[in-house]
Amino acid sequence: MKIGFIGCGNMGSAMIGGILKNGVFEKNEIIVSNLTEEGSRRSREKLGVVTTLDNCEVVKNANIVILAVKPQFYEEVIGEIKSFLTPQHMIVGIAPGKTLAWLEEKCEQPLKVVRLMPNTPAQVGAGMTGACVNDRVTEEDLDQILAITNSFGRTEVVPERLMDAVSAVSGCSPAYVFMFIEAMADAAVAQGMPRKQAYQFAAQAVLGSAKLLLETGMHPGELKDMVCSPAGTTIEGVRILEKNGFRSAVFEALQGAADKGKKM
């Protein structure tokens, strides 16, 4: 085995899905641990990887170890596995607030440490991951990490001080985007559109807008202005969004998410 996941829920399985689809590792090179027998069976059936209920088995059988449990369980899990870690291991945290220094300290030995902040669109190969590494991670190690993260979307290597911002703007933001889509679809339903069709229209509008911005590199304000005809329908909606503090609400939400990450 080459890569191991401690925990294989939403994020772990999304990451493994991309890794397998792009042939970064074969099924028999991936070992995952779950907390429950039910989770273990789900990992086996859904992904076909090697499974265990013993977190130490992951460390004994893989040199890249991804901690894909909720942040609250990081300390307990590291306590369990630390005596099996060696300088050859690369330990990868994906939780908000768990800094490189915190991970190094809890592992109690000099190790290659990586911090990633992926997001759930990784499930469909459209993830966005922020990455930073400690000074023991070589160029070759980083290339290996990027091959992994690029298998489920795009990656940006950032200074660690930006990881809370990454967590807010791409780790958490899919939740806010889904709330936005749901609200738009509710409004379309109120106008008489069948719900399934409303999700299609709202989601494709968000997907297309994101694609337009990424592919043209244009300023989002300019793209917004392209939609707003003088005395038209869109600018009326813009007025109402501004009146209701739409931008400020988004700003505050991301600020709150980033601040929460700093405290974790």
Ligand X SMILES: NC(=O)C1=CN([C@@H]2O[C@H](COP(=O)(O)OP(=O)(O)OC[C@H]3O[C@@H](n4cnc5c(N)ncnc54)[C@H](OP(=O)(O)O)[C@@H]3O)[C@@H](O)[C@H]2O)C=CC1
Partner whose footprint covers residue 39, from ligand A1CAB, ligand X, none (CB < 5 to 8 Å by kind): ligand X
Shortest Cβ 90–ligand X spacing (Å): 17
Which of residues 55 and 198 has its CB atom nearest to ligand X in the complex?
55
Residue number of the CB closest to ligand X reads 9
DSSP 8-state code for residue 152: T
Q: How far is the CB of 165 from ligand A1CAB (least distance, A)?
A: 12
Q: Is 35 an interacting residue with respect to ligand X (CB under 6 A)?
A: yes
- The residues, any chain, with a CB within 8 Å of residue 190's CB and separated by 6 or more, are none
Q: Pick from 13, 34, 171, 185: which binds ligand A1CAB (CB under 6 A)? A: 171
Which of 118, 114, 153, 115 shows the shortest CA–CA distance to 22?
A: 153
Residues 6+ apart with CB under 8 A from 43: 8, 13, 32, 34, 49, 51
Q: How far is the CB of 91 from ligand X (least distance, A)?
A: 14
What is the rounded (10 degree) CA torsion for 232, 235, 240, 245?
Answer: 180
Residue 7 found at the interface with ligand X (CB under 6 A)? yes
Q: Which run of H or E residues covers position 130? A: strand 127-133
167 touches ligand A1CAB (CB under 6 A): yes
The count of other CB atoms within 10 Å of the CB of residue 238 is 16
User: 18 or 171: whose CB is closer to ligand A1CAB?
Assistant: 171
Q: Where are the beta strands (DSSP E) in 7-85?
A: 30-33, 50-52, 64-67
d(C-alpha 16, C-alpha 104), whole Å: 25
Cβ–Cβ contacts within 10 Å for residue 104, how many?
Answer: 17
Task: Give the x/- contact pattern for ligand A1CAB in 77-106, rule: CB under 6 A.
Answer: -------------------x----------
User: Amino acid identity of 219?
Assistant: H
- Smallest gap from Cβ 176 to ligand A1CAB, in A, equals 11
Among 2, 44, 56, 73, binds ligand X (CB under 6 A): 73
Q: Judged by CB under 6 A, does residue 130 bind ligand A1CAB?
A: no
Contact positions vs ligand X (CB under 6 A): 6-12, 33-36, 39, 55, 68-71, 73, 77, 94-96, 117-120, 171
Contact positions vs ligand A1CAB (CB under 6 A): 96, 167, 171-172
